[in-house]
Structure 1
Amino acid sequence: MTLRGTSDPMGTPSSAPLFVQRSGTGPSVVLVHGGLPPNITWSSQQELETRWTLIVPSRRGYPPSPPASLQDFLADADDLVELIAQEPGGVHLVGFSYGGLGACIAAERMPERVRSLTLIEVPLWVAAEDDEVVMELAGLADRFAASADDAQAESEFFALAGVDRDMLAGEDDGVRHAMGLWRELRSPREAQPRFEVITEAGTPTLVFSGDHNPALERLCDALAARLDAQRACLPGAGHAVQHAPGFNAMLETFLTTAERSRGEARSD
């Protein structure tokens, strides 16, 4: 299933236009995908378009957006800032996995334009840099990215991400292309968002996890604490929490409450 709707190019300060898919009606929600293409990442969110305007960029390097030599959360943040600036009234920002790194940085760059922030198992290692269990997981991600010859790291990383090589063998060229970018990326260890800017702005924030890995649970707990965020744990879909039963209902409740709070703030 793919997101229906019109598409439009969105210019960025640094290079060619980014491809953005739009559908639905209502307040704007930007959905930022992780390592897999957006049509796979957000396939379960199609139903939200009856009440929300879904804005789904293809991150740089993911067709039909311009090519890139690596995944780069700083480039993602630049693209998202440009996109958010063009949306009247701002947006709700939802980031999954690696895509959440750029989303978090964009939120702290433009807190006045972000109505709410939702982060789904985002590898913001800095939030728990003193936790040995979390740092072991960060080390696994580093080993996977460093070498395609480390079979053990690949096996453990794919298990963490819920990836089955046999399953992916039959997927389309978009998935195979995406897999080629999994080892070409700016390390999440370099991500240093200013959490205090988001909290001081009073941005409603929600952190999701999937209850499939203890280290990720600890990371998400730490991230929620740093952001003074609501915390949700939804098992059933592993790392791809957005496909878990009940995700859309929980997200909509959060978004609706954030919308109501924004309206009350304007009336004060």
Structure 2
Amino acid sequence: MTHIMVTAGVLDVAVELHGPADGPAAILLHGFPDDVRTWDGVAPALAAQGLRVVVPYLRGYGPTRYRDPSTPRSGQQAALGADLLALMDALGIGQAALAGYDWGGRAACIVAALWPERVRGLVSATGYNIQDIAGSARPASPEAEARYWYQWYLHTERGVAALEQDRAAFCRLLWRMWSPTYPLTDAEYARTAASFDNPDFVATVVQSYRHRHRAAAGDPAVQHIEDRLAALPPITVPSVVLHGAEDGVDPPANSEGSARRFTGPFRREVVPGVGHFMPREAPQPWIASIAELTLTPP
């Protein structure tokens, strides 16, 4: 699949496009550490139903590039939300269904919460993905803290050096831990791991995991968004939460109470036999949910 480059906000975003340009829009957003290949089983099926499907590489991944060397290499949640909104504006998309997981799910939740008029519907893996940064100092259970070992590791220079020196091996370990039942092949992983060679991948990832724990400053240009997110705004658009039953970093119990954050039409589905990298492991629930939200008359 070839990509186009779209100038959007502070980025030149690499985007893969599927389906008719005049169809109802759906934007599919990957997570960490992944790339657009995670949607290969989803995007063509949606395009075949007449949707205009937009699949971008997030900041720090693949061919996407920061436009200005002085722009902070920030992976904070407000920056991801701003990127998505800027991409919609650049492509002339007034309203779209948004679908994503991990970092991409966070961007989708942010736009759905703060700019609901731009969102036809939301499909978010693992629930309400807006971070409670003010509450990040509260420790979780020891089991949960252990699952986040990589985040604490990246707070150290040793961890940063490890990611820089062998990012492919670092990230492949996360894939094995987070999707323990998925039969990942070397060839499949290599197609995505190439995206981690982006020159800004390490800096963007490190800032993301430090910022959410109040260990790194944010980008002043998006502080106004971060201020709005501090209130943990509800998501009012029609929403579906998908959660992999075998998710090794964010188990299904974590989304059991997520309905309270969604005040519009809402359903939650736990998908058996599926881990964290949900779209590539189980495309069908995503296809069905996105089509439902996009093609069903409001």
Contact 1:73–1:99 under 8 Å retained in 2: no
Pick the aligned partner of 1:98 from 97, 103, 108.
Answer: 103
Task: Note closer, same or farther for the CA distance 1:257–1:47 as it changes in structure 2 (3 Å cut).
Answer: closer
Secondary structure at the counterpart of residue 99 of structure 2:
strand
Q: Distance in 1 between matches of 2:197 and 2:2?
A: 24
SS of equivalent residue, structure 1 residue 184: helix
Corresponding residue for residue 85 of structure 2: 81
Tell me if structure 1 keeps the 8 A contact 2:29–2:36.
Answer: no
* Residue 177 (structure 1) aligned with residue 177 (structure 2): no
* Preserved CA contact (<8 Å) 1:7 1:21: yes
Alpha carbon RMSD of aligned pairs, Å? 3.9
Q: How many residues align?
A: 251
CA positional deviation for 1:197: 4.2
Deviations 1:116-172 (A, max 9, x none): 111113655549988944853675353243245599xx7985543338999489825
1:171-205 per-position Cα deviation (integer Å, ceiling 9, x unaligned): 25624426746852323457746554422xxx011
In structure 2, stretches of 5+ residues that fail to align are 67-71, 163-169, 215-225
Does the 8 Å contact 2:15/2:54 carry over to 1? yes
> Measured at CA, do residues 159 and 189 of structure 1 come closer, stay the same or move farther in structure 2, by a change above 3 Å?
farther
TM-score (norm 1): 0.74
* Aligned pair partner of 2:178 in 151, 161, 165: 161
Unaligned 5+ runs, structure 1: none
Write the mapping of 1:1-268 to structure 2, written as runs, cut at 5 A: 4=1, 7-12=4-9, 15-25=10-20, 26-45=23-42, 46-51=44-49, 52-67=51-66, 69-85=73-89, 86-121=91-126, 124=130, 126=132, 132-133=140-141, 136=145, 139-147=148-156, 148=158, 157=174, 159-162=176-179, 167=186, 171=190, 174-177=194-197, 180=202, 183-187=205-209, 188-189=212-213, 192=229, 195-199=232-236, 203-213=237-247, 216-228=251-263, 229-245=266-282, 247-248=283-284, 250-259=285-294, 263-264=297-298
- Alignment TM-score, normalising by the size of structure 2: 0.67
Residue identity matched to 1:42: W
**CA 1:169 to 1:197, structure 2 compared with 1: closer, same or farther past 3 Å?**
closer
Report % sequence identity: 20
Distance in structure 1 (CA, Å) of the matches to 2:188 and 2:281:
24
Distance 2:19 2:188 in 1: 33
Conservation of the 8 A alpha-carbon contact between 1:195 and 1:227: no
Q: Find the aligned partners of 1:74 and 1:84 in 2 and give their Cα distance.
A: 16
Q: Please identify which structure carries the higher helix content.
A: 1
Cα distance, 1:89 vs. partner? 4.2
